[in-house]
């Protein structure tokens, strides 16, 4: 090791402005600044906080990803790396404020639909995305709808993945799904919820059973998906949603965008899934109400990018390419 270090030192010792040019491979990119592998921290809220982003690939089609939760992370989107770059699509991971790789303020006043929507615009500016697509999944789909109405100028298209236009509608549907479970299990879950004991191991065991039916139906959840769930910011989730998926008591409990989505003017793909916790019939209706809406119907669950991966990815990529081609 000492000999290797000496050889490197000898070949790269600075002499005036001489650079280390021995055996240079001219195919290796040359930069005038330190590179971070696509990672960029974006200042938000006037520079008070920073959020984490990462660029993957290079291409004319540029997509910003909005993860769900609220409070999850970009990590469950990592499957996109096996599809988007190969299709010539440049995409951007982004952990929203409070999520794993971004700053973690504890002021619950920050956790609102309006502020998160404005944050997306700050991230767009920070990344220099002047003409781009937005893909929002679940809670990220809510932000996508809000953003498309409030900040339409730079959007080429949106993908609203597995998100209904109404939280009250969502609550009705997901409880219908739960009521299909054995009566004793439903009663046990409601008992824990009434006692505000949603962290009880027995309750979590029953939730996991439902998640295996309606969140991801794979026998073994992929590591990036479990990692994202392990890294959830519970304060963000509990403030916005509540303590569980079935009784929404958080800030967005009355959120409804049925009157807003007809004002989404760019092309929009709505992704619905047959086993989702979101009513696929409602998502089909959304695709009909949005002026330039289209529907992608998957055979998976809420995480169809994992449990109906081929259909999901092909549908999303075809939408992006067709929109780019003006079809």
Rounded Cα distance between 323 and 327, Å, is: 6
What pLDDT sits at residue 142? 98
Return the pLDDT at 237: 97
Q: Please tell me the predicted confidence (pLDDT) of residue 26.
A: 74
Using DSSP, state whether 94 is helix, strand or coil.
strand
Low-confidence winner among 161-170, 197-206, 224-233 (lowest mean pLDDT): 197-206
* pLDDT at position 245: 84
pLDDT for the residue 8: 45
Active site annotation includes 307: no
Q: Residue 20: pLDDT band by 50, 70, 90 thresholds?
A: low
Share of the chain above pLDDT 70, in %: 92
Residue 295, domain member (yes or no): yes
Query: What integer pLDDT is reported at residue 196 of this predicted model?
Result: 87
Q: Could you tell me the CA-to-CA distances from 77 to 100, 116, 288, 305, 314 in Å, in that order?
A: 14, 19, 27, 8, 15
CATH of the domain at 195: 3.40.50.1820
Instruction: Specify which residues 49 forms β-bridges with.
Output: 44
Interval 294-312 mean pLDDT:
98
pLDDT at 27 over 70: yes
Which pLDDT score, from 0 to 100, does residue 122 have?
98
Q: At what angle do helices 167-178 and 201-214 cross, to 10 degrees?
A: 100
State the pLDDT at residue 11. Answer: 47
Model-level pTM? 0.91
4-8, 69-73, 171-175, 212-216, range with the lowest pLDDT: 4-8
Residue 26 falls inside a structural domain? no
Asked if the structure places residue 282 within a domain, the reply is yes
Residue 18 forms part of a structural domain: no
One of 95, 276, 279, 307 is an active-site residue; which one?
A: 276
Active site residue 118: no
> Residue 135 in contact with residue 267, Cβ under 8 Å?
no
In contact, 293 and 319? CB cutoff 8 Å: no
pLDDT digits (tens, 9 = 90+) for 205-249: 999 999 999 999 999 999 999 999 999 999 999 999 998 888 899
Residue 86 lies in a domain: yes
Q: How do residues 111-158 score in pLDDT, each as one tens digit?
A: 999 999 999 999 999 999 999 999 999 999 999 999 999 999 999 999
Mean pLDDT for all residues in the chain: 93
Q: Give the domain range for residue 188.
A: 41-324
More confident residue, 3 or 316: 316
Average pLDDT, integer, range 82-96: 98
For residue 10, name the pLDDT band (cuts at 50, 70, 90). Answer: very low
Residue-level pLDDT at 293:
98
In a domain, 276, yes or no: yes
Kindly state whether residue 17 falls inside one of the protein's structural domains.
Answer: no
138 is annotated as an active-site residue: yes
Catalytic residue among 138, 161, 287, 304: 138
Q: What is residue 156's predicted lDDT score, i.e. its pLDDT?
A: 98
186: which 2 tokens? 């439903």
Provide the number of structural domains found in the chain. Answer: 1
The verdict on residue 20 lying in a domain is no
Catalytic member of 302, 304, 307, 308 = 302
Q: In this structure, what are the phi and psi dihedrals at residue 311, rounded to the nearest 5 degrees?
A: -65, -40
């Amino acid at each position: 090791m000492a000999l290797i270090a000496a050889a490197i030192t000898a070949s790269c010792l600075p002499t005036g402005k001489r650079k280390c040019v021995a055996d240079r491979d001219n195919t290796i990119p040359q930069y005038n600044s330190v590179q971070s592998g696509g990672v960029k921290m974006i200042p938000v809220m006037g520079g008070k906080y920073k959020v984490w982003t990462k660029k993957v690939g290079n291409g004319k089609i540029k997509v910003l990803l909005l993860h769900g939760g609220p409070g999850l992370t970009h990590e469950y989107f990592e499957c996109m790396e096996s599809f988007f770059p190969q299709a010539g699509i440049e995409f951007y991971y982004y952990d929203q404020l409070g999520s794993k790789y971004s700053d973690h303020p504890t002021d619950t006043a920050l956790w609102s639909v309006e502020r998160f929507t404005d944050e997306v615009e700050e991230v767009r500016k920070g990344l220099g995305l002047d003409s781009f697509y937005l893909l929002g999944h679940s809670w990220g789909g809510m932000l996508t709808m809000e953003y498309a109405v409030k900040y339409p100028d730079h959007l080429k298209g949106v993908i609203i993945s597995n998100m209904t236009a109404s939280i009250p509608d969502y609550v009705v549907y997901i409880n219908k799904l739960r009521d299909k479970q054995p009566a004793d299990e439903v009663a046990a879950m409601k008992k824990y919820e009434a006692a505000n004991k949603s962290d009880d191991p027995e309750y979590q065991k029953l939730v996991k059973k439902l998640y295996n039916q309606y969140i991801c139906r794979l026998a073994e959840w992929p590591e990036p998906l479990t990692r994202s769930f392990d890294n959830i910011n519970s304060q963000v989730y509990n403030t916005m949603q509540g303590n569980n998926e079935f009784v929404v008591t958080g800030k967005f409990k009355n959120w409804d965008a049925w009157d807003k989505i007809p004002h989404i003017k760019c092309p929009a793909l709505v992704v619905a899934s047959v086993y989702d916790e979101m009513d696929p019939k409602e998502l089909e209706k959304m695709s009909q109400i949005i002026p330039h809406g289209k529907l992608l119907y998957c055979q998976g669950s809420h995480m169809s990018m994992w449990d109906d991966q081929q259909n999901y990815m092909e549908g999303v990529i075809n939408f992006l390419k067709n929109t780019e081609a003006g079809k």
